[in-house]
Amino acid sequence: MRNFLFCTTAVVFCLFFTPASAQQQILTPILASDANFRDLAGISASNGGTGFVNTTSNNGVMRTGIFYRSQALSTLTSADKESLSTLHIGLDIDLRTPREIIGTPSLLDPNAGIDWLPNGTDYLNVNIYGTVDPPSTGSVNSPETAVDYMKSTYQNFVTDPFQRAKFHEVLLALASEADAAVFHCSGGKDRTGWTAMLLQSIAGVSPSTIMDDYLASNSYMAAAINDILDKVPAEERATFAVMLGVQSEFLQAGLDQVTVSYGSLDAYLTQGLGLSQETIYLLRNKMVCYNSLVPALTLILL
């Protein structure tokens, strides 16, 4: 059963979350069977981060244990399932296509979720692409065409009306969930990376820190990527390496498209994704603890 957050037209209320400290450590459990599972609040020291929560504008800091991002939670070991059960996750948002889901051996039923879900955790499939299969990569035959493919993927997050509607659905579901939530796609880097960027931007995390967090997928998934590349013919490895990892120009292509199409990220959120100010304030209040009262009141009052 899901808990929900409600807001009035005057003030956004945050329920069930404790304030973060500026020195609060990132203590997300490391999952051996899901290397890119991590807290949205910051990057672990072992993966190039500070090991502490990110700071935000207006003298705020991110809260831990609110939103988690991940690759597909479909091949977890028993020990990793047990670790996840301690995080009190109330909602799992799966961004994959039906083919990606059905192709996962551990899936019980596309309508029932995946087998790691403890009692009380809901499953929501929000197929970002809106297709049965993920977009074809048939035209990708070199590192250069792979880069172009990835850049167009992020541009489509901005220009495709269907995809914008799906990101609206994701953010609305996260805003409405009172318990912790996880969102993921297959690799946890593109659809998941864009969602993470939107949330961190709403929270007021600096653009440079957001980019560092985005690029951290290369560190989190390094061993898994290398294992795959070891099985790929030598002449194809450079192309596969582009597709399996992330590059700053991928995310930047999407951000540049935001500027071209909407003028600013705020306009993309409200006009492109159709988010209300109440939803934006509710998400921000869930994710951020402010160290002074005046900025916090300014940000949550309509």
Q: Is 80 left (phi over 0), alpha (psi -120 to 50) or beta?
A: alpha
Question: What pLDDT is attached to residue 24?
Answer: 87
| CB count in 10 Å sphere of residue 30 | 14
Contacts for 132 with CB less than 8 Å, ≥ 6 apart: 97, 98, 99
Question: What pLDDT is attached to residue 13?
Answer: 37
Question: What pLDDT is attached to residue 48?
Answer: 86
Cα–Cα distance measured from residue 29 to residue 101, given in angstroms and rounded to the nearest whole number: 24
Q: What are the per-10-residue average pLDDT scores of the chain (302 residues)?
A: 47 40 78 95 90 94 96 89 92 94 58 60 94 94 98 98 98 97 96 98 98 97 96 97 98 98 98 98 96 53 42
> Which residue is associated with the tokens 């300014």?
298
The DSSP bridge pattern shows strands 38-39 and 107-109 to be unpaired
Question: What pLDDT is attached to residue 293?
Answer: 59
Question: What pLDDT is attached to residue 88?
Answer: 92
Cα–Cα distance measured from residue 151 to residue 133, given in angstroms and rounded to the nearest whole number: 19
Contact yes or no for 125/97 (Cβ under 8 A): no
- SS3 string, 67-119, reads EEEECCCCCCCHHHHHHHHCCCEEEEEECCCHHHHHCCCCEEECCCEECCCCC
Question: What pLDDT is attached to residue 3?
Answer: 59
Domains of the chain plus CATH, in order, are: 38-300 (3.90.190.10)
The DSSP bridge pattern shows strands 180-184 and 89-94 to be parallel
